């Protein structure tokens, strides 16, 4: 057989990099493919896609296609995987891998990025380890010549984990898991409405053969009555335990019962627990006698467009995969791209796969403590959080001694953000479980200061569990939020009210105003003894601009709403396809929302307060748009987007920029401005905001509880008595307010001094093809007179 022609190797560090999706499809895979292709091209490499997974690699020919920049335009918003995935039995055998190797060499490809599950990635690593012997066999059998294989004797492989189960060890999240969780929560929310209407019970089966992440997180996010997961099977008395909890919830007045079961659920003896068993138990006329239905969600869980988190996770991991290819040497172990400590990292693939398989082995061996231990700390935290919120007021042994019980005030300060109610529900649940009294302060400090029996129930009152139990999926703030801070309400009055109601602890949920409020209360302790109680803040704002944390509750909900809005806007341009939309985002003086949304929707440009806007920058971007539309062959499916933060400039707003673009376009293309406004605050909170709200709120009350017996003097001298909880990297930490407000806060601009996300701005520009435009001499921000008046400096 005569050998085919092989393209010559590329010079320097340039590579021919192929992207492939394998195994199951996960939302976000198209975002990863887009990022790999465009980053490869931007780094001077040639980019290819292997269609139909390993099957395409074995078949070769038209299954391996060279890709250009415009070929992946519009892919971010598409569900599934546009390059296909298929099971390939041939690749399991050496002859199949031999064909795959030949096709790689014939196309001159010496690097492969694979997005798939642990099975697909294990196959990839085996392929790499066999590569030298495969090339040797191809030469010996005269399928290729020694000259052809010489430039390609080293194969580089990088793995991306695409899995809705989030079952890979070594990474906090896998591409697609939060999209699948979102689909589950959406379905459960729908089911809850009909369950409540008819006072029914529903048993909902979700995916997860060896990993209960989806079932656990759905239970936390929706406030389900009971869950079954493989890693933590119930004891032999699981029937009695479930019936006790469900019966107690019904006695409290709940009209609905939701039980979530992972498909791999079993008891401690290894016997499978089926939805039918659970249904029969709940419906047993000798027991609970509930009208019970079963819903198996099936493949709806992996369908649809990716959520914002999966889009930017896939994008950032795709970029890093190309970097890993170009950094690799022949001796570099095959890496996979993980997310840890809020950073994209590289980890050895083989070790991660082995650790993942160990979980399944531990479950099979009924070593369930080890199975839970092999999951990350976050998994155990969420399980404990879930148990706290579902067994509220059932187990008296969990209550603290009478003299240690506290009156803990809960107040919302700032603007509404998704997850605030879920956090409040969790805090109330923990308080009641431990015997504390959770007290609601309605309508923030403004409502507190004007509380004089204006409301029928009073603006300061203990929480009722049945009232808050349904808050897990509610948006906004059920007890009201207000931007007023204590100095505006009257510090003397607020101090007197603290003394009147005998608060032993304060839990604040909110944004920068809440941060400012806690700062004022801390500093006022010297003058007002009633403030010498433990206080902590859970940041909750769509702007994600609270110092002391890299994540604020509500920001994920905002991004999801904004991404949906942008997708719809882009689609509206499908008729003409020659339209630019300038969309104004919220975010205050922080460009986080604009930047992350820009990364998730493939914006042409993003304008932020940190960078500012100049006339030369706008002129360069308009010239770039002219060039883009001049070379647009019409194959793209949607319009183009520019995102501008609401405070990016004092002069250039969305309408003015759209008008400038329209004027300069001279009818060659159109432009429109659009302002989603408060739509960005979202309706139903995202699963990420709900689950993190639960976990962090419980940690906050635990922290207050740990200082509950401290004296006024001890509180005054303890920096940890006034704290902000935050996610810094992969760790949850409490930071002393004194240190954060003095060292980390940019008070005039109401944001942290060092914002962790700022390097992502360059990634947005790179993947959109934006040229290196002129940057403003200084950011278009400044100190406002009202900030001085409010005591921000």
The C-alpha atoms of residue 276 and residue 203 are separated, in whole angstroms, by 8
- Give all strands (DSSP E) within 647-762, no chain letters: 670-674, 722-728, 731-736, 745-746, 751-752
The C-alpha atoms of residue 653 and residue 638 are separated, in whole angstroms, by 23
Q: Is 207 annotated as a binding residue?
A: yes
Q: Is 170 annotated as a binding residue?
A: no
Q: Is 302 annotated as a binding residue?
A: yes
Q: Is 243 annotated as a binding residue?
A: no
Q: Is 164 annotated as a binding residue?
A: yes
Q: Is 587 annotated as a binding residue?
A: yes
Q: Is 165 a catalytic residue?
A: yes
Q: Is 712 annotated as a binding residue?
A: no
Q: Is 120 annotated as a binding residue?
A: yes
Q: Which residue has the tokens 């209360």?
A: 521
The C-alpha atoms of residue 33 and residue 732 are separated, in whole angstroms, by 32
SS3 call for 700: helix
The C-alpha atoms of residue 194 and residue 508 are separated, in whole angstroms, by 34
Q: Is 317 annotated as a binding residue?
A: no
Q: Which residue has the tokens 């079993």?
A: 266
- Please report how many Cα atoms fall inside a 13 Å half-sphere around the Cα of residue 630, on the Cβ side: 8
CA end-to-end distance (rounded Å), the chain: 79
Q: Is 119 annotated as a binding residue?
A: yes
Q: Is 589 annotated as a binding residue?
A: no
- Which of 460, 507, 495 has the alpha carbon at shortest distance from 479? 460
Q: Is 87 annotated as a binding residue?
A: yes
Q: Is 558 annotated as a binding residue?
A: no
Extract the tokens encoding 101: 């190797």
Extract the tokens encoding 318: 């795709």
Q: Is 750 annotated as a binding residue?
A: yes
SS3 call for 48: strand
Question: What is the C-alpha radius of gyration for the chain, rounded to an integer number of angstroms?
Answer: 28
Q: Is 163 annotated as a binding residue?
A: yes
Q: Is 681 annotated as a binding residue?
A: yes
Q: Is 646 annotated as a binding residue?
A: yes
Q: Is 293 annotated as a binding residue?
A: yes
Q: Is 754 annotated as a binding residue?
A: no
Listed as own residue / partner, the contacts of 324-333 with beta carbons closer than 8 Å and 24 or more positions apart are 324/158, 325/15, 325/17, 325/111, 325/113, 325/156, 325/158, 326/13, 326/15, 326/43, 326/45, 328/111, 328/156, 328/158, 330/154, 332/156
Length of the chain: 793
Q: Is 532 annotated as a binding residue?
A: no
Q: Is 286 annotated as a binding residue?
A: no
Q: Is 678 annotated as a binding residue?
A: yes
Sheet holding 407-413, edge to edge: 460-462, 437-441, 407-413, 505-510, 535-539, 722-728, 731-736
SS3 content of the chain, % helix, strand, coil (to 5): 45, 15, 35
Burial class (CB in 10 A: 0-12, 13-18, 19+), 733: middle
Q: Is 633 annotated as a binding residue?
A: no
Q: Is 588 annotated as a binding residue?
A: yes
- Residues 6 or more apart whose CB falls under 8 angstroms from that of 666 comprise none
Q: Is 255 annotated as a binding residue?
A: no
Q: Is 88 annotated as a binding residue?
A: yes
Q: Is 162 annotated as a binding residue?
A: no
The C-alpha atoms of residue 80 and residue 48 are separated, in whole angstroms, by 19
Extract the tokens encoding 766: 């790179």
> From the candidates 165, 504, 673, 689, which is the catalytic residue?
165
Catalytic positions: 165
Annotated binding site for Mg(2+): 118
Annotated binding site for substrate: 163-165, 200, 207-209, 263, 293, 299-302
Annotated binding site for beta-D-fructose 2,6-bisphosphate: 483, 541-545, 579, 586-588, 646, 672, 678-681, 750
Annotated binding site: 24, 87-88, 117-120, 163-165, 200, 207-209, 263, 293, 299-302, 483, 541-545, 579, 586-588, 646, 672, 678-681, 750
Annotated binding site for ATP: 24, 87-88, 117-120
């Amino acid at each position: 057989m005569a050998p085919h022609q092989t393209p010559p190797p590329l010079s320097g560090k340039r590579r021919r990099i192929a992207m492939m999706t394998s195994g199951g499809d996960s939302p976000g895979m198209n975002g990863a493919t887009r990022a790999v292709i465009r980053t490869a091209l931007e780094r001077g490499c040639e980019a290819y896609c292997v269609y139909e997974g390993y099957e395409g690699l074995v078949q070769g020919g038209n299954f391996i296609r060279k890709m250009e920049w415009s070929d992946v335009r519009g892919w971010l918003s598409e569900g599934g995987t546009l390059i296909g995935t298929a099971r390939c039995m041939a690749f399991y055998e050496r002859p199949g891998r031999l064909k795959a190797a030949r096709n790689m060499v014939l196309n001159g490809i010496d690097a492969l990025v694979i997005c798939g599950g642990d099975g697909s990635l294990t196959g990839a690593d085996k392929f790499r380890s066999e590569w030298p012997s495969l090339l040797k066999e191809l030469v010996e059998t005269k399928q290729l010549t020694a000259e052809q294989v010489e430039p390609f004797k080293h194969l580089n492989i990088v793995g991306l984990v695409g899995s809705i189960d989030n079952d890979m060890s070594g990474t906090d999240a896998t591409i697609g898991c939060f999209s699948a969780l979102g689909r589950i929560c959406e379905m459960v929310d729908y089911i809850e409405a009909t369950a409540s209407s008819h006072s029914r019970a529903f048993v909902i089966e979700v995916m997860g053969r060896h990993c209960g992440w989806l079932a656990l997180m759905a239970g936390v996010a929706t406030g389900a009555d009971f869950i079954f997961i493989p890693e933590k099977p119930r004891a032999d008395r699981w029937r009695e335990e479930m019936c006790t909890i469900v019966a107690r919830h019904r006695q409290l007045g709940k009209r609905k019962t939701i039980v979530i079961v992972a498909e791999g659920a079993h008891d401690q003896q290894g016997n499978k627990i089926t939805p039918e068993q659970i249904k029969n138990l709940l419906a047993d006329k000798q027991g609970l006698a509930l009208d019970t239905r079963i819903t198996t969600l099936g493949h709806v869980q992996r369908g649809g467009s990716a959520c914002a988190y999966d889009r930017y996770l896939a994008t950032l991991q795709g970029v890093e995969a190309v970097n890993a290819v170009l950094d690799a040497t022949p001796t570099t172990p095959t890496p996979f791209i993980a997310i840890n400590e809020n950073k994209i990292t590289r980890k050895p693939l083989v070790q991660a796969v082995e650790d993942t398989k160990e979980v399944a082995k531990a479950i099979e061996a009924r070593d369930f403590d080890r199975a839970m231990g092999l999951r990350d700390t976050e998994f155990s935290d969420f399980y404990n959080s879930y148990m706290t919120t579902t067994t509220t007021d059932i187990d008296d042994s969990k209550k603290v001694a009478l003299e240690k019980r506290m009156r803990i005030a809960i107040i919302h300060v700032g603007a509404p953000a998704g997850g605030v109610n879920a956090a409040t529900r969790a805090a109330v649940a923990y308080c009641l479980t431990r015997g504390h009294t959770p007290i609601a302060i309605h309508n923030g400090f403004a409502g507190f200061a004007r509380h004089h029996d204006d409301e029928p129930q009073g603006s300061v009152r203990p929480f009722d569990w049945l009232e808050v139990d349904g808050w897990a999926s509610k948006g906004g703030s059920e007890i009201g939020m207000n931007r007023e801070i204590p100095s505006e309400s009257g510090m003397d009055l607020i101090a007197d009210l603290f003394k009147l109601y005998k608060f032993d602890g304060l839990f604040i949920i909110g944004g920068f105003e809440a941060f400012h409020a806690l700062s004022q209360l801390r500093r006022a302790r010297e003058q007002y003894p009633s403030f010498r109680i433990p206080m902590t803040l859970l940041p909750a704002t769509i702007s994600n601009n609270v110092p002391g944390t890299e994540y604020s509750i509500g920001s994920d909900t905002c991004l999801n709403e904004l991404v949906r809005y942008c997708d719809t806007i882009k689609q509206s341009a499908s008729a003409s396809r020659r339209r630019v939309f300038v969309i104004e985002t919220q975010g205050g003086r922080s460009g986080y929302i604009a930047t992350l949304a820009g990364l998730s929707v493939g914006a042409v440009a993003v304008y932020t307060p940190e960078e500012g806007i100049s006339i030369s920058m706008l002129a360069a971007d308009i010239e770039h748009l002219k060039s883009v539309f001049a070379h647009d062959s019409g194959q793209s499916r949607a319009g183009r987007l520019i995102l501008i933060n609401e405070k990016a400039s004092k002069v250039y707003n969305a309408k003015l920029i759209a008008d400038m673009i329209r004027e300069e376009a001279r009818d060659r293309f159109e432009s429109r401005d659009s302002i989603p406004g408060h739509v960005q605050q979202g309706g139903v909170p995202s699963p990420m905001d709900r689950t993190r709200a639960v976990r962090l709120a419980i940690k906050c009350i635990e922290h207050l509880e740990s200082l509950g017996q401290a004296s006024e003097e001890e509180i005054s001298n303890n920096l940890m008595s006034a704290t902000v909880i935050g996610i810094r990297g992969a760790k949850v930490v409490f930071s002393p307010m004194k240190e954060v407000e003095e060292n980390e806060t940019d008070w005039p601009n109401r944001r942290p001094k060092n914002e962790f996300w700022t390097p992502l701005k360059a990634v947005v520009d790179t993947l959109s093809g934006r040229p290196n435009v002129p940057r403003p001499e200084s950011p278009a921000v400044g100190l406002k007179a009202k900030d001085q008046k409010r005591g921000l400096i």
